[in-house]
Amino acid sequence: MAIIGGGLSGLSTAAKLHRLDQSIQLVLFESGERLGGVIHTEQVGEYLIDHGADMFSTKPSAAIDFCCELGLEDQLIEPKPEGRGARIVRNGQLVPIPEGFVLMRATQLWPMLFTPLLSLQGKLRFLLERWISPTKGDKDESVSTFVQRRMGHEVLDRIVAPLAAGIYTADVTKLSMQTTMQAIARMEKKHGSLARATAVRRRKGEDSVERGSTGARYGQFRTFQDGMIGLINGIAQSLPDDSIHLNCSVESIRSIGNQWIVTESGTDHKFDHVVVAVPPKAAVNLLEPIAPLASAELAKIESASAAIVVLGVSATNIKRPVNTFGFVVPLSEKRRILAGSFASHKFSGRSPEDHVLIRVFMGGAMQSELLEKSDEELTTIAQEELSELIGLTGDPLVSRVVRWNDAMPQYHIGHGDRVRIIDEEIASTPGLSFTSNALHGVGIAPVIKQADQVAHEVIASLKESGNTSNG
């Protein structure tokens, strides 16, 4: 059995397969010199720097369940209790997100009425939401259309768009409501409005966590003491020693009879089953000869790029410190950064005592031109922006620029239909599977959930073909 790609998708599929049937001979090809793909952690002196993901959600439970399966639960830590929550920049100030506002829905009314983020007009428009009729039918729409239609443009521009951009680095005028905010879209359909849905949930006691949160429900997140690399190392350790092949870029896959020929560095390898777990751009080429429809649809999935400027600074160099996990920046603020995350406020062990580790996000779908700048220029921009927003002075003690090119698949309107075509063609091609964060969710939890599903499908297909000790 070949698994192509040693990011979280490929690794977790491999680990799940190994747990389900240890007789399967796994061969995982990773083109890079390390495992983990966009997940990586670097220790620089006493600073622990996550290059990509810095935490995962316990909902859905796939990721936390997986950690328990791998015996990694002792390594997990929760976000610090103090300072939970995020802020939004408004007129250069870091304004708290109204209490109870989670992603797209206000679970408390009063904080929305008193927030300086919205004008009086914006608040009145928000209050109208209860009386706006839902759209008919199931047609997908953009996050921007949905929020503007229901709550007005101020809630969109000043609250929802920067929060959504923080997760998807996306253009909200293209971001698919059905595939990124499905639960909210369903609430509208079922209850007629988000206000009514919230009232029902409140009566049932279902919003108790959300009501005390701002921006995200931080209590439901976890990370590893040693950074997110802990997950990658834990998965790798669960796999047979000889199964992982680094610096092996797969060039092509073709079928001969019911065998797959995987060509890597000019060498052919024969397998009964192949799991492709590479990002869309790489998958387009690999799948083109063997699943042309899927390949064509994958070619339509755009990916955004981003840079993270990581700065380790002395706490005394921050003249206007804020006790928060981070902040997001609306486009209307005309700044050159998307968000800032105070890694050392979020989790213990990220910086020396009295120092702060800050991750500044730049680029994304909306400011991609910034990524043409050099690392030095990006670092200067990040420092200038932080100087204005939190009064950062002096030079950082540690700085890094991490670039992620084409690393964030964009779930644009119609993404659900695209994924259906991809899934159908792959499912009808015996011995072939495909899993990636480009299909059913970009977060660590949905990626692991999909890997679990793929692993079960592979086992079922191997049983059907009567071949469980597969090479």
Question: How many CB atoms are closer than 10 A to CB 420?
Answer: 11
Site for ligand FAD in 283-342 (CB under 6 A): 306
Note the Cα 16 to chain centre separation in Å: 21
Of the residues 1, 24, 27, 39, which one makes contact with ligand FAD according to CB under 6 A: 39
Q: Are 77 and 348 in contact, with CB atoms under 8 Å apart?
A: yes
Of the residues 2, 17, 24, 30, which one makes contact with ligand FAD according to CB under 6 A: 30
Of the residues 43, 93, 121, 249, which one makes contact with ligand FAD according to CB under 6 A: 249
Residue number with CB closer to ligand FAD (153 or 270): 270
Q: Is 282 in the site for ligand FAD (CB under 6 A)?
A: yes
What six digits make up the tokens of 297? 């649809």
CA-closest candidate to residue 402, choices 5, 125, 41: 41
Site for ligand FAD in 166-185 (CB under 6 A): none
Site for ligand FAD in 51-90 (CB under 6 A): 52-56
Q: What's the closest the beta carbon of residue 317 comes to ligand FAD, in angstroms? A: 25
Q: Is 7 in the site for ligand FAD (CB under 6 A)?
A: yes
Q: Is 431 in the site for ligand FAD (CB under 6 A)?
A: no
Q: Are 329 and 89 in contact, with CB atoms under 8 Å apart?
A: yes
Residue 37, sorted as left (phi over 0), alpha (psi -120 to 50) or beta, turns out to be left
Q: What's the closest the beta carbon of residue 76 comes to ligand FAD, in angstroms? A: 14
Report the distance separating Cα 46 and Cα 394, nearest Å. 20
Q: Is 442 in the site for ligand FAD (CB under 6 A)?
A: yes
String of DSSP letters for 142-158: BHHHHHHHHH-HHHIII
* Site residue total, ligand FAD (CB under 6 A): 35
3-class SS at 46? coil
Q: Is 4 in the site for ligand FAD (CB under 6 A)?
A: yes
Q: Is 447 in the site for ligand FAD (CB under 6 A)?
A: yes
Report the distance separating Cα 393 and Cα 378, nearest Å. 16
What six digits make up the tokens of 17? 């397969």
Pick the stretch among 37-45, 107-115, 313-321, 381-389 that binds ligand FAD (CB under 6 A).
Answer: 37-45
The torsion of the CA quartet 413, 424, 56, 213, rounded to 10 degrees, works out to: 40
- Where do contacts with ligand FAD occur on this chain (CB under 6 A)? 4-10, 29-32, 37-39, 52-56, 249-250, 277-279, 282, 306, 404, 407-408, 436-437, 442-444, 447
